[in-house]
Amino acid sequence: MNSEVKLGTPVIVLNEKVYVESVGNKGLELAKICEEVAEKQGISIAICPQQVELAKIVSSVNIPCFAQHVDAVSPGSHTGSVTLESVKETGATGSLVNHSEHRLKIADIDFIVGKAASLNLLTIVCTNNIAVSKAVAELKPYAIAVEPPELIGSGRAVSQEDPGIVEDTVREV
């Protein structure tokens, strides 16, 4: 991966989370569907497979793949942690950071964004409001995804439920 890695915009980012419907081969099937739609429709789609499937899916599709989470640690004795180095080794494009289901402290976000940039990995930092988005923007992540927590997993799109938060966030950032 090189420092020229970019995502086409607009981009659809599908987070598979840890639903039973995206375990193992089912997750790979979803990734392949995303790849097919991206190619046929000429749109940018990235996928965030379950962590244990990341390497397999990265090697099986030609769309950007992101880790669902990384920890703010360097390689060492951190049992169960996911390092940016391990994500890079899979060939992934980068990582989601600070998803509302896995919130981090600003110091940890800062560490992750900075280290990811040094490794040529992209970060999509999730935020829940305009103020947090502004603070995160100062850290210079690749992208910010703003979504109020009450909409996560609701099936209701931010752009329909609260288009103002998107517009206001863009203006403020």
Domain ranges of the chain: 7-66, 69-173
Mean pLDDT for the stretch of residues 116-131: 96
Residue of 150 and 79 predicted with greater confidence: 79
Mean pLDDT for the stretch of residues 72-98: 97
- Just list the catalytic residues: 99, 147
Mean pLDDT for the stretch of residues 160-172: 85
* SS3 category, 1: coil
pLDDT at position 2 over 50: no
Quote the pLDDT of residue 163: 78
Average pLDDT along the chain: 92
Quote the pLDDT of residue 1: 35
pLDDT at position 33 over 70: yes
Quote the pLDDT of residue 38: 97
Q: Which residues contact 8 (CB under 8 A, 6 or more apart)?
A: 43, 44
Q: Phi-psi bin for 5: left (phi > 0), alpha (psi -120 to 50), beta?
A: beta
Q: Which residue in the block uniquely carries the two structure tokens 């938060």?
A: 165
Question: Which has the minimum average pLDDT: 3-17, 27-41, 73-87, 90-104?
Answer: 3-17
Mean pLDDT for the stretch of residues 159-170: 83
Q: Which residues contact 25 (CB under 8 A, 6 or more apart)?
A: none
84 touches 116 (CB < 8 A): yes
Which CATH superfamily hosts domain 69-173?
Answer: Aldolase class I (3.20.20.70)
DSSP string of 110-151? Answer: HHHHHHHHHTT-EEEEEESSHHHHHHHHTT--SEEEE--GGG
Quote the pLDDT of residue 52: 97
Task: Count CB-CB contacts under 10 A for residue 5.
Answer: 13
DSSP state of 104: -
What percent of the chain has a predicted confidence (pLDDT) above 70? Answer: 97
| Residue 159's pLDDT band (cuts 50, 70, 90) | confident
Mean pLDDT for the stretch of residues 48-61: 98
DSSP string of 54-69? Answer: HHHHHTT-SS-BEES-
Q: What are the structure tokens assigned to 78, written together?
A: 């951190």
Taking each helix axis from N to C terminus, what angle separates 106-118 and 130-137, rounded to the nearest 10 degrees?
40
d(CA 129, CA 132) in angstroms, rounded, equals: 6
